[in-house]
Amino acid sequence: MKITINSVVGLTYELKVSKEEENIESVPFSVEVRDQEDPFYFLFGNSGLPEKFESFLVGKSKGEPFNFIILANEAYGEADDELIMALPKSQFTAENGFEPEMFEEGNFLPLVDENGYPMQAKVLKDLGNEVLLDFNHPLVGFDLHFDGEVHEVREATAEELEHGHVHGEHGHQH
């Protein structure tokens, strides 16, 4: 089976990132490896990933290798200053699972948006009664270098299509 819209896709890969700053291209460095023990699964066409990512995979079959680069402007874009904000620490209580050490610079806070979807924010600075958070995607501003293989391709079930995500062993459990 080939990768098409509404198929369930499993990938193994190494993701490296690089960033061009002041006309100096950085050497790509590894940020994620998904291997045979932990492949990455998604519903093709409804992944929430950059469009360019899926365009490089369409038509591939199980066992086919892939190697491509998605430039920052076609991946997660550049940082948006409006997504950096100071919030009162009083919003992050122990009753909601927040501990003081979670507010150290560089940590990611696990949050939920107003619709109940998980999200995260990077702690930029502890300001005492407030914390400066960055809600930009962690890969914003980076070129993405993917090198991997198609691990599995199968038809999505009616339930997966209805819910918009993968179910079962490698997906969401209801």
pLDDT along the chain (174 residues), means of 10: 96 94 76 94 91 96 97 93 94 88 92 84 93 94 96 94 84 63
CATH of 7-77+139-163, one of 3.40.50.300, 3.40.50.1820, 3.30.300.20, 3.10.50.40: 3.10.50.40
User: What kind of fold does domain 81-134 have according to CATH?
Assistant: Thrombin, subunit H (2.40.10)
pLDDT reported for residue 26:
74
CATH 2.40.10.330 in the chain, residue ranges: 81-134
User: Is-above-0.85 flag for pTM?
Assistant: no
Judged on CB neighbours under 10 Å (0-12, 13-18, 19+), 166 is: buried
Residue 63: CA count within 13 A, CB half-sphere: 1
CATH 3.10.50.40 in the chain, residue ranges: 7-77+139-163
pLDDT reported for residue 24:
65
pLDDT reported for residue 117:
78
Of the candidates 82, 92, 71, which has an alpha carbon nearest to the alpha carbon of residue 134? Answer: 82
